[in-house]
Structure 1
Amino acid sequence: LPVWVYIQGGGYAQNSDNNYNGTNVVRESQSNIVLVNFNYRVGALGFLAAEQVRQDGDLNVGLLDQRKLLEWVQKHIKQFGGDPRHVVLHGTSAGGGSITHHLTAYGGRNDDLFVGAASQSSFWPPLTTVSERQWQFSRFVNDTGCSDSPEPMNCLRSASLTTIATANIVHAYPGAFSQDPLPHWTWLPVIDGSFVQGSLYRQFERGQFVKVPMLITNTNDEGTAFASDAANPADFSMFLKNNYPALTKSDIDALIGAYPLRSPLPTKQAWFPSVAAAYGDATFTCPGNHLALSFSRFYSPWNIWRYRFNMQDPPQVAAGLGVPHAFDTDAIFGPGYAGNYAASFVGINADIVPVTMKYYISFVRSLDPNRYKDAGTMRPPSWVLMRILSQ
């Protein structure tokens, strides 16, 4: 049977939900798939980075955990009725970002671990070098009481999980404007020269990735769940600087110019829509667009599918969030099978659940979301392939 391997998100800082339940999608597939879900190390346990870690350990171990799971699937999934030659990856948010790291792993080396991938709201935060994360290691060592140890790595290994968890917090980046608002994510993958060999943008631009059929998705309002409630351009600037410390003043001015004041949203300050749009584009939507363009260029435009989920939920809209990040997850797994869910998925939006779910089931089964789509689904229009030439 085709195998659906799901990588959950959580910003690489936490596992977003340990209650993902594949029962519904397996049932709706008429038992024509096997679904695998798992946990991986996150936060300091998964993404602590420094030269000391490189010399006396491993970098990006959260991603290496995932890779080990994919190797385990190749060896053992037959015991569960799965076909190791037909493994399709699916990830949400940081899970979607993880998908892109597996596509580009070891410079795009194909280890035959999967034959297709679905990247849902792919999360691409700043990807830094190891040296650029040294400050975080120093603070973590201090917060765990290991700063005076002559062997800080040994000290960390002997620390209790309670101590580790207490120190597993977000600090402001060096050079940030202030402590408020703190950056959303700081425990992140780094360029290690091996598994992660460089910028995701650059690797995809150069064709350094595994070429397989792709389903690439986003929601309509990716940034609303994360943006600061900015009242003015100064708040906008502070949010950008605190989350992207490498931005210069001219960079920030250009971004504010590109995202001027927008129509207001309920319960939100005047500049919130602009901040949300900028953050959503930079972190989630533009990565999806870049993936689609790169796969079309280096692989095949006929084996790439893209959707934007825009099913509005009245309470989310009333809160000024629109259709927020990863809101389609409940439509993929079914209400109640991916943790808490919006009531509209069993009410006014109930019809979208079988449509979305069966797109994913079809993609896992056949590497085409339309082959086994829901019987009531209208086939989307075909887009004419065009080559744009610049003078």
Structure 2
Amino acid sequence: MAKPATLVLGALCAFALHLGGVAGSPLSRRAAPTVTLDDATVTGVSAGSVSKFLGIPFAQPPTGQLRFQLPQPIPAYNASFSATAFGPSCPQQAISLPIPPGLVAETVDYLTNTIYQVVTPSSEDCLTLNVVAPADATPESALPVVVWIFGGGFELGGTSTYDGGVIVNRAIELDVPAVYVSMNYRVSALGFLASQEVKDAGVGNLGLQDQREALRWVQKYISAFGGDPTKVTIWGESAGAISVALQMVTNGGDPEGLFRAAFMESGSPIPVGDITHGQKYYDAIVEQTGCAAAADTLECLRGVPYDTLMDAVNNSPFIFSYQSLILAWLPRVDGVFLAEDPQYLVEQGSVADIPFISGDCDDEGTLFSLSTLNITTTAQLAEYIQTIWLPAAPADTVTTLLELYPEDITQGSPFDTGILNALTPQFKRIAAFQGDAVFQAPRRFFLQQRSGKQNLWSFLSKRLKAVPVLGSFHGSDILNVYGPGDMTDYLVRFVSNLEPNGDTGISWPQYTTEAPNMLTFLDGLIPLEVGQDTYRAEAMAYITNVTLTYPV
């Protein structure tokens, strides 16, 4: 009999094939599909029961003087073109994954080649999107639409990693046909440059602005592919899920008719500070590109050669650097897209009044704690939290946090693994804290704030617990939905009916403060059960109060 880790890794390899499209449907012999956009005929690719239109520009290229500018609408299409290949990803920040002893080599390969892959080719001319529709869809079909926003720590990622055909084919099989859209958006410094100069120019959060522009494109053009612009669900994972949440809280909570529902995997409105908190990273890039003496440093950066700029960007801390989830480049309060800390906006009721689903993996923090294995004592951990996470907080705040996240390795993450997976005396403790601070606590806060105001569902993925060191790690739930898996069924039904339940899987009850129900995805003979979102209640409530008071 295969060992549990072998079974897990076999599943991961199969997942990699699905992401790359190797396991997708063979191309049929039917004629290439076409759609009309303005005065252009756009030719796509036939793939079994679906049609794919790939690499369609949705905004003007953000190059030259449009670098570090808001996305500009694309002019009317007036020349026919082929949409048969993914467009390049937006410029990627270089990363490396720390490889500790005990992390199985196949697991490392999986992480670096799929979820945290630097997607190539890349180019500044990257604002394209993809549409996958049932092959028999027509402009009169008026099918619901799901828009995917990829994750990658706001530092990397692209659309070519994900096969939207998996989603559309399953929707067809369940008799809830839908249209799938995915878009590229600017990441790292090109998408989330942060400083006083950026704030003054009103060009913060460009990656989120790119997403918003893509959603406007969907409103204008999706009916040509058989989609209904009034039935759009936005869906994302990790940074993509955080993006979905921020699309919900911007603009006073008015979605402008751009979407009617949201599905978030491992991402919620996170506590972030003012955009000037990124000043030191901006100043470093300005210095390294030779722009420090310029009268207008932001304008100077627009003219810096691409390779010179990216060399400087790649010197910034990345998601697997020592400071880990305290990212250099991420959404921040800019006064335009985000008027205040997103969690304050939630408290104020600045939230789109739409049904939504939000969930996490059980061990969100393990992957991001591999870069701090040199922390082996409580004193060192206290210093790390004080200097990296909470530099403005009093020391007794850190002391309380350490009491709520004790050194006992049996209480750390990967949770429910006893004395196993303790790479260091502090690894599981750090992983528990980081996973709750960035993922679990913000999700619970969001759900509790919105309970009774709109229809809510939540989930917890405890699958892949047998993965050494990482457990049910961040990103592992993608296997449930792009696999395809049982989460796919809930997703496509939610997209179609604003209700995830149907005739497969168990009934998924709504989440309320009085009954904080969570659909739990499990390994083993019982793959699904309904649990309660009550774990680590005191610790998460304290973390929420602390991060609201001292945002990064």
CA apart distance, 1:35 = 0.6
- Partner of 1:74: helix, strand, or coil? helix
In structure 2, give the amino acid aligned to 1:363: F
Q: Which runs of 5+ in 1 are unaligned?
A: 174-179, 335-352
Of residues 241, 244, 250, the one that matches 1:99 is 244
Taking the aligned partners of 2:329 and 2:171, their CA distance within structure 1 comes to 36
Of residues 489, 493, 510, the one that matches 1:362 is 493
Q: Could you tell me which residue of structure 1 aligns to residue 507 of structure 2?
A: 379
CA apart distance, 1:125 = 5.3
User: Is 1:278 paired with 2:433?
Assistant: yes
CA contact (8 A) 2:151 2:238 kept: yes
CA contact (8 A) 2:146 2:180 kept: yes
CA contact (8 A) 1:94 1:123 kept: no
- Partner of 1:5: helix, strand, or coil? strand
CA contact (8 A) 2:266 2:474 kept: yes
CA contact (8 A) 1:172 1:242 kept: no
Of residues 457, 471, 474, the one that matches 1:325 is 474
Alpha-carbon spacing, 1:181–1:7, altered in 2? closer, same or farther (3 Å): same
Alpha-carbon spacing, 1:327–1:115, altered in 2? closer, same or farther (3 Å): same
Taking the aligned partners of 1:332 and 1:2, their CA distance within structure 2 comes to 18
Alignment of 1:231-310 (within 5 A): 231-240=376-385, 241-262=387-408, 263=410, 264-266=419-421, 268-297=423-452, 299-300=453-454, 303-310=455-462
- Partner of 2:379: helix, strand, or coil? helix
Q: Could you tell me which residue of structure 1 aligns to residue 218 of structure 2?
A: 73
Paired positions, count: 355
Q: Could you tell me which residue of structure 2 aligns to residue 11 of structure 1?
A: 153
Taking the aligned partners of 1:385 and 1:182, their CA distance within structure 2 comes to 34
Of residues 209, 216, 221, the one that matches 2:358 is 216
In structure 2, give the amino acid aligned to 1:111: E
CA contact (8 A) 1:97 1:123 kept: yes
Q: Which moved more, 1:145-154 or 1:77-86?
A: 145-154
Please report the TM-score for the alignment, with normalisation by the length of structure 1: 0.84
Taking the aligned partners of 1:204 and 1:327, their CA distance within structure 2 comes to 28
Taking the aligned partners of 1:192 and 1:127, their CA distance within structure 2 comes to 11
Taking the aligned partners of 2:377 and 2:242, their CA distance within structure 1 comes to 31
Taking the aligned partners of 1:163 and 1:61, their CA distance within structure 2 comes to 21
- Partner of 1:165: helix, strand, or coil? helix
- Structure (1 or 2) with the larger CA radius of gyration: 2
CA apart distance, 1:251 = 2.1
After superposition, give the CA deviation of every residue in 1:93-146 in whole Å (9 maximum; x if it has no partner): 111111111111122123111000011100655512133222222111012221
Alignment of 1:66-215 (within 5 A): 66-122=211-267, 126-169=271-314, 171=316, 181-184=322-325, 185-215=327-357
Taking the aligned partners of 2:470 and 2:344, their CA distance within structure 1 comes to 32
Alpha-carbon spacing, 1:133–1:117, altered in 2? closer, same or farther (3 Å): same
CA contact (8 A) 1:49 1:133 kept: yes
Q: Which runs of 5+ in 2 are unaligned?
A: 1-142, 411-418, 517-552
Q: Could you tell me which residue of structure 1 aligns to residue 550 of structure 2?
A: none
Taking the aligned partners of 1:170 and 1:182, their CA distance within structure 2 comes to 14
- Partner of 1:86: helix, strand, or coil? strand
CA contact (8 A) 2:272 2:333 kept: yes
CA contact (8 A) 1:143 1:167 kept: yes
Taking the aligned partners of 1:232 and 1:16, their CA distance within structure 2 comes to 39
Q: Aligned Cα RMSD in Å?
A: 2.3
In structure 2, give the amino acid aligned to 1:358: D
Q: Could you tell me which residue of structure 2 aligns to residue 343 of structure 1?
A: none
- Partner of 1:147: helix, strand, or coil? coil
Taking the aligned partners of 1:322 and 1:281, their CA distance within structure 2 comes to 15
Taking the aligned partners of 2:482 and 2:303, their CA distance within structure 1 comes to 40
Q: Which moved more, 1:239-248 or 1:62-71?
A: 239-248
Taking the aligned partners of 1:380 and 1:126, their CA distance within structure 2 comes to 29
Taking the aligned partners of 1:259 and 1:192, their CA distance within structure 2 comes to 33
Taking the aligned partners of 1:28 and 1:267, their CA distance within structure 2 comes to 39
Among all aligned residue pairs of Structure 1 and Structure 2, give the percentage whose two residues are the same amino acid.
31
CA apart distance, 1:20 = 0.9
- Partner of 1:218: helix, strand, or coil? strand
